[in-house]
Every structure is written in structure tokens, then in C-alpha cells.
Amino acid sequence: MKRIHLIGIGGIGMSGLAKILLEKGYHVSGSDASPQSPTCQELVQKKIKITPHQAKNIHKNLDLVIHSAAIPPHNVEILQAKKLSLPLQKYSTSLAQIFNPRKGIAVCGTHGKTTTTAMIATCLEKAGYNPGYLIGGHYPPTHARLGQGNYFVAEACEYQRSFLDLSPKHIVLTNIEAEHLDYYQDIHDLENAFSTFCHKLPQHGTLIFPYHCPTSQEIAQNLKTKINTISFGIGKQTKSDLRAEHIQLLPHKTLFQAFYHKENLGEFQLQIPGLHNVYNALATIALAHEMRISLHKVKKTLKDFSGVQRRFQIITRKNGLLLIDDYAHHPTEIRATLNACRQKFPNFPLWVVFQPHQYSRTYKMLEELALALVEADMVILTDIYQARERSEWKARVHSLDLCQRIQWLGGKAKYIPDFSQIANYIPSFITPPAVVLTMGAGNVYKLIPSLIQQLHYLSKRSA
């Protein structure tokens, strides 16, 4: 039995890979900076041994060592693997080895990848394709499976150009905006990476792309003539191949009519809120239409789709107080999440606990972040979450800079660095009914247990 060790096994992609490798019959072990995390403990339940990073985890009995993109080259286990001359490869290479022999469907883009990947994987599953998939967020009953069918659906990450390891038959491109500028030189460098990826499509492959995104349009126009392209968009005036019209953003559901050219595909319903999820659904409908999946099955799948963990996840609701958790960390994602919240709970004051993600992103997008967050009724800012970036960025920006900018724009904001202080502060000043939204790509979710306790205590007093 092949023995494989995963460095950074607690990451969402790496944990999914671990599940698939187990299905393939390999002996899997792993290490992580947070071996007690819920993700790691789920894998421990599957008999995977997980420890902190340490050189002794790497030994000559291993057949392969895999590391995530978040692991630095000076990690003790990477150094030990090199010392022992063990085969060492990155996560994206390992994913490609599973993905490329199948009919691969790659979902890429700056925003919406995780939800769209989950929608597509579920559609294929309900249609009887028995697909394999790897989703970049926890999704019940599992975010990754090998599958026995011909298709494999994967979230294709642009960070470090990782998606260039994949050779897909179909690409679903959600959008392209400035992101990962700690790695890419500028937006043009990022756009070139997406273009290179889309040009990997084979003859008779398919690119599904957003009509409203000029860069995506340009990429589609420059592809080989024998590649099928399907654009999607919103509004009667759009010239996209697939479009949504008569959109109703209601508190308990979203309704829209879909048209493919002149063909009326009928009414679709979503239970997850937000205009951004109409775009995600359109991308899914476009692929399903290309694969000739029954419209009835697509409609039912989208109607029943309840979302992915940490994507507008309602944690608790009691006596007029709601706690919602979301992964949004880019200005566009923040605006979309706040708009979704206003749609679903139109008369509730909205308190946001935002943890800025990365010093470099906060520095480069300070104005855009402030303009997005000012739409909340109250913003509480934690310290900036540092991830995979050079330490010199830390001296350039602080959460207080963002706090002051929000205040200058006329918003209400307060900087509170300590999670326990936040959990105590909010119940002292908030009045039901209200929404508390924790938001960020770091570890802001760790605030939730103590916040639940304090909010439940407040709801009892208000009942």
C-alpha cells in the first residue's frame, strides 16, 4: 500500500485530497499547524494520523510527500523530505493527477468558485453522472469524493498559477478582478494567467464566462475556433447567450426567468440570497444546458441547494438575533454579502465583525474595503490576519487605518483586537432585532462559540 504524507492537511483543498486518496486505497498521514481543528479532527475520525509539523514525521517508508501552496519552503518537513530525497510535490500537481485523466470541469475566477463548484457537482450527481469532485469549502455530506463516473469537478485556484497544472475539458469562469497581488505583479499579470489557463482547453472544449467581464470576453474571443463558448449575464438588454430576467430578490427566496438565446428555459428559484448567486446559478445552468442535463433536475437542484459552509451560513437565530458567518474578504465579496443580508433581513440593523485578510491586501485595497464596509450599520474590526506574505507589509498598514477610513466616509466603526472583548462588547450595545455577521478568510470563525453564548444570554433578557 502506497504511503502518502500531506503537509498542511488541514487546508480545505488538502483535506479533500486526503479523502480522495483514502478512497483510492492509500495509507494517508498528515501534519498541520492546527491539528485540533474541526477539519483535522474529521480526518482523524477516518483513521488519519495528524500531528504538528515536525521532521520526524518524514521518514524513508513514505512513498510521496505532498504540500499545500501555503507551506513555506523552509518548513521542517519539506526540508526533511529533500534531505531524504523523497518524492515531493505540491497540492495542485496531485489534484491534476486525479483530475486530468477524467473529463475535467474546472471552476475558476476571483469570486464565486466554491458555491458554483458545489452547484455543478450537485447537478451532475443528481443527474446520475456519479462525478468526482473537490469543493473549496465544507459541503454536506462531503466536500470531496473520487466518484466512479467520467467527470471530475474541481475548484481551480489561480494563486501561484496553480490552475495551470489542470487540463480541463470544460472551464467555468466566474469573473476576473484584482486579487492575490501578493503573488501577481499587477492585474495584467493575473489576467494573463487566466488567459493561459483558458487556452489549455482542447478542441471541442467549452468555456463558460460572464458577459459583463471585459477581460473574460477578450479571452473568449481569442480562443481557438473549435472551442465552444457560452456567455451568461443579467438583464433583457444583455447580449449574452444565457441571461436572467425578471429577477425578484425576496426575503425568503430569489426568483428569475432564464433564457438561452430566444428559448425560455422557465423560472428558477434559489433559497440562497444575493444577486451574486444568480450569476453562480447561471454559470451552472449554462454547463448543464451544454451537457443536456434535464432542466427539471437542474431547477430542483438549485431550488434545494442550501449553500456551502462559511458562505452566508446562518449559525443561530433566536428572539430576533441572528448570527451569520461568511468567508468574504475582497471588497466585491463584502458588498455582495451585505446586499444579500439586506435582501434576506431588510429591516434588521446589520453589525459586521470583519477580520481583514493579509496586510498586503488591506494596504492595496484599503479604500475599496472601506467603501464596501461603510454600508453596514456598525463595523467592528479585528487585527489583520497575516497569511503567506513577507513581514515588511506589517509595518505599512493597521486595522486602525481601515477603521478611520470607514469613519471618515460617515460609517460607524470600532477597532477591537481581542475576540473575547468583541463577544462582550456586541451584546452590550446591540438591540434585537439585529444581524451580527462575522466575515473574513482567516480565523474569525473562532469568535462564534463565545458570541453565540453572549447573544443567547442577551436574547433571554430581551424575550
pLDDT, one tens digit per residue, over 101-129 is: 999 999 999 999 999 999 999 999 999 99
Q: Cα dihedral sign for 164, 109, 158, 220?
A: positive
Q: Are 280 and 112 in contact (CB under 8 A)?
A: yes
For residues 378 and 440, membership in a common domain is answered with yes
Q: How does strand 64-67 pair with strand 413-415?
A: unpaired
Q: How does strand 321-326 pair with strand 434-439?
A: parallel
For residues 235 and 189, membership in a common domain is answered with yes
The b-or-e profile of 325-358 (16+ CB within 10 A means b, else e) is bbbbbbbbbbbbbbbbbbbbbeebebbbbbbbbb
Q: Are 23 and 146 in contact (CB under 8 A)?
A: yes
For residues 291 and 145, membership in a common domain is answered with yes
Q: Note whether residue 95 is domain-resident.
A: no
Q: Are 124 and 153 in contact (CB under 8 A)?
A: yes
Percentage of the chain lying above the pLDDT 90 cut: 85
Final residue of a domain: which of 89, 110, 127?
A: 89
For residues 324 and 200, membership in a common domain is answered with no
Q: How does strand 254-260 pair with strand 263-270?
A: antiparallel
How far, in Å, CA of 434 to CA of 436, rounded?
7
How far, in Å, CA of 389 to CA of 184, rounded?
12
Nearest to 402 by CA among 438, 444, 439, 366: 366
Would the pLDDT of 155 be above 90? yes
Would the pLDDT of 399 be above 70? yes
For residues 348 and 420, membership in a common domain is answered with yes
Task: Give mean pLDDT, residues 148-176.
Answer: 96
Q: Note whether residue 94 is domain-resident.
A: no
Q: Are 179 and 333 in contact (CB under 8 A)?
A: no
Q: Note whether residue 15 is domain-resident.
A: yes
Q: Which residues constitute the domain of residue 48?
A: 3-89
DSSP 383: P
pTM above 0.85, yes or no: yes
Query: How many domains are there within the chain?
Result: 3
What's residue 459's pLDDT? 61
Indicate which CATH number applies to the domain containing 453: 3.90.190.20
For residues 277 and 353, membership in a common domain is answered with no
Distances (CA, A) of 191 to 168, 210, 276, 363, 408: 18, 14, 21, 21, 33
Q: Are 189 and 165 in contact (CB under 8 A)?
A: no
Would the pLDDT of 463 be above 80? no
> Which residue is listed with cell 473520487?
146
φ/ψ of 322, rounded to 5, equals: -120, 140
What's residue 1's pLDDT? 65
Indicate which CATH number applies to the domain containing 27: 3.40.50.720
Write out the catalytic residue numbers: 113-114, 155
Final residue of a domain: which of 261, 278, 304?
A: 304
For residues 280 and 406, membership in a common domain is answered with no
> Which residue is listed with cell 498521514?
29
How far, in Å, CA of 59 to CA of 72, rounded?
20
Nearest to 434 by CA among 415, 458, 414: 458
pLDDT, one tens digit per residue, over 266-295 is: 999 999 999 999 999 999 999 999 999 999
For residues 409 and 440, membership in a common domain is answered with yes
Length of the chain, in residues = 463
For residues 9 and 105, membership in a common domain is answered with no
Helical H runs in 64-165? 76-83, 91-99, 113-126
Q: How confident is the model at residue 143 (pLDDT cuts 50, 70, 90)?
A: very high
What's residue 460's pLDDT? 61
